[in-house]
Structure formats: structure tokens, C-alpha cells
Amino acid sequence: MDFTKKFNLGLTLETGYEEFASFLETYHTYIHSFYFSPPVDRRLHTRTKVAQAFWLPGKKRQFWKMLALIKSYGIELELLFNTLQLDAELIGKTAQQLARNGVEVDSVCFLGDYYDAVRTYFPGKKYILSFNNGYQRKAQIEQAIEAYDAEVFVLGSAFIRNNKIFAYLHEQGKQTYLLLNNGCSFNCGTCNNVLSVCEKSFQENLKHHSVEYLYALQSIFPHELRDGTIDPTHIQCFKISNRSSNLKFLRGVLDSYITGRVDDYVRADTNNYAFWGRAGYFWKHFSKMDLQKIRQYKEQILHKDAGERLYAPDETKRETE
Ligand SMILES: [Zn+2]
């Protein structure tokens, strides 16, 4: 499978500039775009850890240098407004700060609420509807197509194996970015950074299913992009959640998807399960999970019509193991 310019990655500050430059040297041909939240205001950041990284000495300067280096490779820069409680003033201030630092973004990924402000301050950019908009049903996507003039939908969770929705978006002239490794429970209902809600859905699901089953359902192994479980024809980019991890993590994720290797990584460190599904509540289960069981569940998922059967979030509870 050809992964040239296929990955949409998060810009992590858990690295020095030189290490990042060497990473780009190795992987730039596979990278379509980097998404990032600039150091303008705490509200732009979901994770405290990511926000705090900016306060270390020299990190802000390193950040702007990294953006320039990314640009020099012809890789797209994607600005995020995907957190709650932003307003037009802050979106305008962000546009100013970027201009002051000589950064021109290619695309803006946002929550629907910020559409007007994004259009005002970032006219003519590629507009991307964030995963955090929480689309779970086709009707919501249809409404969003009507409401926003956006080119791209970022899909994940309940949609991860819904090949029909990727084809539908393509017919509508839209692109899909598929979030590969951060799938929340299909019946979670909200992933708008409300982690306690996600944890609660997961605990509820654990009463009915094994952790291996839930992980198999919510994670994406490399073979699923190759064997038809997920049809990549109409998927423009594979989005990776990686911003709170270092570059070693990101190298592992990319290598695994590109080469198809899974077993070696799990054998080396069970925390590497996070490569393919890193929702926070799974981590404490990783060391006890049985890879063979996960593979069996993946096999079952493949031999049902995953797109149909696993489409509606409510259906997941009725799945038999
Ligand atoms: Zn969730």
C-alpha cells in the first residue's frame, strides 16, 4: 500500500529541534500535513502537558522554527481550533500572532461554532471539520455539509470502518481524514474533551465485553487498511493522535502502518498497543491484553460487513462476541 503523503500528524514539542529535523528527513515523503495549536492562549490546548511544554526555555522559538522547517518540505500546516470556550477575539489574535511570526497556514480545523470567526480571520484556507465536532450519524454529516463550506471531515470512533460514509463524502465532493489510533467507544456519544464521559462509557462497555473485544473494535491495525476492512480509496489522510508523546512513539506508529508490523512492537513493549488505539482508559489494560484474542475479534469484524453492522453506536451493545 502506498502511504506517500498520507499521514496527518500532530506537532509535538517532546523533542529537540535537531531530532525533529532528522525525523522529517526520514519520513517527510509520507507526511501530508502537521496539525498544531500555537502558544497564543491556554484555551487553545486540550492537554495541560502540551500547553506546559511551551513554557520551557527556548520551546516557543523552537516551535516557530519547526513550522518553518515543515513548510520547507512542502508539507501542509493545519491550525486547530478544536477546544471549547474559544471566541472570535482569540481566533483573531491567533491570526495576528501567526502573521507576526511569518507563518501562513494552509488549512484550519475547527468546531462548527467557530465557523464565522474562522471565515473572517482565515479567509480562503482549506476548512476542516474537527473530529471533536462529534459526528456519529450520517444525518449529522448531512447537516454539516449544508451548514459549512468545508472541504474535509475528520472522522473516527463509530465511523472508523464505515466505508459507505467515506464514499458518500467523496460523492459530495468532500474529503475524509480518518483518525486511526484514538477511537473512543462507539457509543460514547461525546468526545469533546470530556474525558470522564469517555471513561464512563468504557466502564459500562466493559460490563458486557472483554477489554480485548473493545480494543479490537476501537483500534485500527495496519492489516485493516490492506484487507478491505477499511477501504482507503476515498480517505485522503490518516490522522494520528500523537501530540502528548515523543518522536520515538511517532516513528513506531508510522513504521507499523507502513510495514504492517504489529507483533514485534507488542512483544517489545505492551504500551505500544497505543500505536493503534490510544484512548486513555486502555493504557492500564495493555500489559494484560491477549494479542491472539484481539486478532480473533478483528477477524470477526472483517467477516461481518463492518460498515453496516458497526455503524450505529447503539448496535455495539448487541454485538455478540
Ligand atoms: Zn469518548
Distance 137 CA to ligand 1 centre (A): 15
- Domain of 185, CATH number, reads 3.20.20.70
Distance 133 CA to ligand 1 centre (A): 12
Q: Is residue 120 part of a domain?
A: yes
Q: Is residue 65 part of a domain?
A: yes
Distance 250 CA to ligand 1 centre (A): 22
Provide mean pLDDT across the span 79-107: 96
Q: Indicate if the pLDDT at residue 251 is higher than 50.
A: yes
- For residue 54, the SS3 value is coil
Q: Is residue 2 part of a domain?
A: no
Q: Which domain holds residue 124?
A: 7-318
pLDDT at 307: 44
Distance 157 CA to ligand 1 centre (A): 8
Distance 191 CA to ligand 1 centre (A): 4
pTM above the 0.95 mark? no
CA distances from 166 to 67, 177, 294, 307 (A): 30, 9, 25, 10
Distance 184 CA to ligand 1 centre (A): 5
Domains held by the chain: number: 1
CA distances from 57 to 12, 20, 52, 101, 224 (A): 16, 17, 11, 18, 42
Q: Is residue 261 part of a domain?
A: yes
271, with CB counted inside 10 A (0-12, 13-18, 19+), is middle
- From the CB of residue 51, how many other CB atoms can be counted at a distance below 10 Å? 17
pLDDT at 321: 34
Tell me: the pLDDT tens digits for 43-65? 999 878 888 888 888 999 999 99
Q: Is residue 24 part of a domain?
A: yes
Distance 31 CA to ligand 1 centre (A): 27
Distance 185 CA to ligand 1 centre (A): 6
Q: Is residue 1 part of a domain?
A: no
In angstroms, the CA 48 to CA 321 distance is 37
Provide mean pLDDT across the span 2-30: 96
Distance 271 CA to ligand 1 centre (A): 20
